[in-house]
Structure 1
Amino acid sequence: MPNALAPSNDETRQTSDSSFEMKAKEILERAMLSREWDVPLAGAATDAAEMNHVDLAYWFYKLERPTLNAESGVPDALFASDKSIVRLPAGFKQESVLTLSAAGDLMPLDGIEGSSNIIYEKVSDILFDADISFANLEAPLTKEKFESCLIQGCDLPKGPILQNSFAMFDALVRHNDKSFDVLSVANNHSFDLGVDGIETTRQVLADNNIVGVGTPESQAEYGRANIITKAGIKVGFISATFSLNDRDPPENESYRVHTARLVSKYVEPELELLKEQIGDCRREGCDFIVASLHWGYEFEFFPRTKQIEAAHALIEQGVDLILGHHPHVIQPVEYYRTKRDPNRIAVIAYSLGGLTYDQWDAAPHLSLGLALKMKLSKGIMDGTSRTFIDSIRPVPVFQQTFHHGGTRFLCIEKLEDHLTESASHEEDNDFTWRVNKMKSYADLILSNSTP
């Protein structure tokens, strides 16, 4: 059925922010009454550069009412397999082991620096007890005088300009003497502060011995992978973001961020840049390839069909693990037996959601994230060196605010730790409701079926 709220062919973006916002608000009010956007809107834009009034209204609709249904055509069979099929194949002789952890967005939040060494206290074993730990840093750093992580007065529909202070960054990436080893810095906010933000962020990462993925230092590095060797296993990280929120670098600086139209309203997913990086991994002799993809539709709990097709294409090209981020909600983890190697199970985490969101008391769907803990094994099979995912554990986590001595703190906690503790929170109906709501989302995503 045609969408009654879809724009006519001659509808274009308004030059005035106020008129653009007013038009989107009118459309949103109609949608709230019709509820027809409780299913994914076909042909919607998620890239700010492609958005019209309807797309912006749809974005705000989902922010309040996240989409729990899969797009028509997404098959149940896609997520039929669970983590039990991830195992080492018969005949494989293990020689070395590497552990890898992964989480989604680290979003800046005013005042979060006061929670330094508290934020990850209850999840440090999942995030930091690994040879390589990964997350997505959602905002660049600034050396300028810092007042807020959110710079107001930005143009619609480009969205807010985000920034990290040095203290905020330190709280987000570190727990005591441990920190993330790899941070994706290719996302839709990468160029919010222009070249200065890119350069400042790169320098701070280098000073903290953190590998930044997705922002090449020069034109010669564009299309190259970031490679880390630990425990005798060479891991290549490739990257791309679907958008820079219509804040693209000038032509002579176009190499600054790995950017590709992965979820465009107008074209099929562009995978050439990612394939170029896969080729680089092969030339460098990588044992295992991880793709960090900033993509997808915000506040939708299932990937779109074109994402699934793109993910499978990248896997068949050589990727072993896809770590998706951007939608701000969790999406399914697919365990995919590759055609290129029937013994290989690739893992596709379409969206890990976030570790932190830019609101202290965010709604349950925005507070919930997914952390992965994996073991990789390298060894000999059929006379050749191979590296497989040995095991994987997906762990739902959530952002929890608490007060102590009149001060507000933030802590990331494991959802499982609260599912049997409802009795201790009998008086806190709001907490119980939040936990139950997040459990319903986690069950939906990790139940290996689509609604």
Structure 2
Amino acid sequence: MSSIVPQLPVSPYKFYRPDARLIEIAARGALLLDYWDVPLADAATDGAEFGFRDEVYWFYKSARPITKPERGAADLLERRDSSVLRLPSGFATECMLSMGVAGDLIQAEGLDRSKNVLFSNVADVLFEKDLSFANYESVVAKDDVVNKALGDGRSFTMCCTKEQYLTLTRHRDKHFTVLNTANNHTFDLDLAGLETTQKLLEQDGIVNTGTPQHADEHGRGTILTIKGIKIGFVSAAFGIRKFQLPPDERHRIHVAKLCSKHVAPELELLKRQIADCKMRGCDFIVGSLHWGWEFEFFPRESQIEAAHALVEAGVDLILGHHPHVIQPLEFYRTKRDPNRIAVIAYSLGSTTFGWFTAPHMMLSLLLDLELSKGLLEGARRTYISVAKPIPVFRHPFMQNGKLLMRLQKLADHVAARGRIPPSVQKMEEYAKLVLGNSYAP
């Protein structure tokens, strides 16, 4: 048993829940006992399904993350070897595309002053690519609206000011190409917050996926062609908290029960989008999934089965987000095409996040990817030729009495001379635990 009990985050529940104190007491007691070291079998991840035990479990693992997989998910550990990723013999490359990927982009303290600073050490991975992607999870509003929504405590509401948005979506004269906007915080400021965010993204030339503006776009993929490769994005979020969309606005987000405690993952909406991408002649399909159980370093067995089903239906790359911690990269040889290795990133973690500074939450992943399109035995195919995970961490620092934030590559600090801080050592342990052979610092 650990001699030091990790710190629980400040709970906004204390402002409006009569049982908040009971939740805190139960979570602290569970921490003293090291009560959970494997995933709780019937835990909820959708806020609409949470009960008292789910709340206690959530706060417990926010302080002490779950570091072991479910028994049924353990065979995933054997499929983390990136050396299997290579173009098939006889493949004749016609064109290539580079791609950089980040995880959750969420409002945090220090972003107002971190424009052109936040990404300065990782711009080569994200903004010197043909295509860049992330999950955008803080709708935009005026400063006074944001300040009121966040309140005095640490609110569960995810929103940001225009200045923070600019920090999160660009570096110098370059911005993300595609941002996923389908997540459980999409409607934290009602429909108005989403619409404001979408207008900004359109003005800035950033494609957003997962939140159709018109009813006839629901169930369709988001498609763009870059450097001769036609890429389709399909997306879904596991839930939208307790927000209720009006009946005539239910097309405004791709949402499905991907991680319900009551039913098996619902994949029909994603399969409709996959079929749409195929019908429209996409060379490559990316699945953006907002799913998973927070603060758990390995996906659940149901997620692995769902990911494989989506890959066999036509997805070539899965980009997962939501758990606030990193999860493995799986290199999965498909049955539909024995030459194809699909890459499944179950969770990229939170690239930015303002809640907590424990090492497991500070660590996230960027992906350095390369796609190759060409001919194989007379048929045109597009394969992933490079997929490198790059662990990074958030570094808040003071400058002229003001808080700023910058992303740092973990490998740069592990390789640095001198004593490595304990927090960096812990993040290195987590990276090795999760990534296995796919991690090469």
TM range (shorter): over 0.9
TM-score for both structures, normalised by structure 1: 0.90
Structure 1: runs of 5 or more not aligned: 1-13
Q: Distance in 2 between matches of 1:410 and 1:52?
A: 35
**Counterpart residue number, 2:199:** 203
C-alpha distance in structure 2 between counterparts of 1:35 and 1:248, whole Å: 37
- Measure, in 2, the Cα distance between the counterparts of 1:149 and 1:208: 27
CA contact (8 A) 1:119 1:412 kept: yes
1:154 Cα deviation (Å)?
A: 10
**2:397 counterpart (394, 402, 405):** 402
* Structure 1: distance between partners of 2:156 and 2:278: 38
Q: Secondary structure at the match of 1:292?
A: strand
CA deviations over 1:4-27 (Å, ceiling 9, x no partner)? xxxxxxxxxx9x953342442343
Q: Is the 8 A contact 1:213 1:237 kept in 2?
A: yes
- Structure-to-structure mapping, 1:332-351, within 5 angstroms: 332-351=328-347
Q: Secondary structure at the match of 1:356?
A: coil
**Out of 244, 247, 252, which is 2:248 matched to?**
252
Q: How far apart, CA to CA, are the structure 1 residues paired with 2:152 and 2:18? A: 15
How many residues align? The count is: 425
Counterparts of 1:373 and 1:65 in 2: how far apart (Å)? 29
Q: Distance in 1 between matches of 2:272 and 2:422?
A: 47
Partner of 2:314: 318
Q: TM-score, structure 2 length as denominator?
A: 0.92
Q: Does 1:384 align with 2:391?
A: no
Deviates more, 1:313-322 or 1:393-402: 393-402
The alignment status of 1:330 with 2:326, answered yes or no, reads: yes
Q: CA RMSD in A?
A: 2.0
Paired residue secondary structure (1:385):
strand
Amino acid at match of 2:410: L
Alignment of 1:347-426 (within 5 A): 347-359=343-355, 362-423=357-418, 426=419
Residue in 1 aligned with 2:278? 282
Quote the offset at 1:342 in angstroms.
0.2
CA distance in structure 2 between the partners assigned to 1:362 and 1:187 by the alignment: 23
- Work out whether residues 318 and 345 of structure 2, in 8 Å CA contact, stay in contact via their aligned partners in 1: yes
Q: 1:147 to 1:48 in 2, by over 3 A?
A: closer
1:9 match = none
Alignment CA distance shift 1:410-1:80 (3 Å): same
Helix, strand or coil for the counterpart of 1:412?
Answer: strand
Match of 1:441 in 2: 430
- Taking the aligned partners of 1:144 and 1:447, their CA distance within structure 2 comes to 43
Give the counterpart of 1:304 among 300, 306, 310: 300
Structure 2 Cα separation of the partners of residues 98 and 374 of structure 1: 8
Partners of 2:169 and 2:76 in 1: CA distance: 37
Find the residue that maps to 1:63 and give its secondary structure: helix
The answer as to whether partners of 2:110 and 2:396 remain within 8 angstroms in 1 is: no
Residue type of the partner of 1:67?
A: I
How far, CA to CA, are the matches of 1:317 and 1:394 in structure 2?
25
1:19-418 matches, within 5 Å, as 19-76=18-75, 78-143=77-142, 145-148=144-147, 151-152=150-151, 160-359=156-355, 362-418=357-413
CA distance in 1 between counterparts of 2:230 and 2:332 reads 22
Task: Determine helix, strand or coil for the equivalent of 1:75.
Answer: helix
2:248 and 2:119 map into 1 onto residues whose CA distance is 40
User: Percent of aligned pairs with the same residue?
Assistant: 48
1:144 Cα offset (Å) = 6.1
Spell out, residue by residue over 1:159-196, the C-alpha distance to the aligned partner (whole angstroms, 9 max, x if none).
71121111100011111011111111001100111110
For 1:300, give the aligned amino acid. Answer: E
Which residue of the partner structure matches residue 10 of structure 1? none
Kept after mapping to 2: 8 A contact 1:186/1:258: yes
Query: Is this contact kept in 1: 2:80–2:329, CA < 8 A?
Result: no
Answer yes or no: is the 8 Å Cα contact 2:109–2:403 preserved in 1: no
Displacement of 1:413 = 0.9
| 1:392 shift after superposition | 1.4
Structure 1 Cα separation of the partners of residues 21 and 395 of structure 2: 34
Displacement of 1:404: 2.4
Change (3 A) 1:317 1:53: same
Shift of the 55–163 alpha-carbon distance from structure 1 to 2, 3 Å rule, reads same
SS in 1 for 2:139: coil
Task: Structure 2 unaligned segments of length 5 or more: list them.
Answer: 1-12
Letter in 2 for 1:142: A
Retained in 2: the 8 A contact 1:291–1:322? Answer: yes
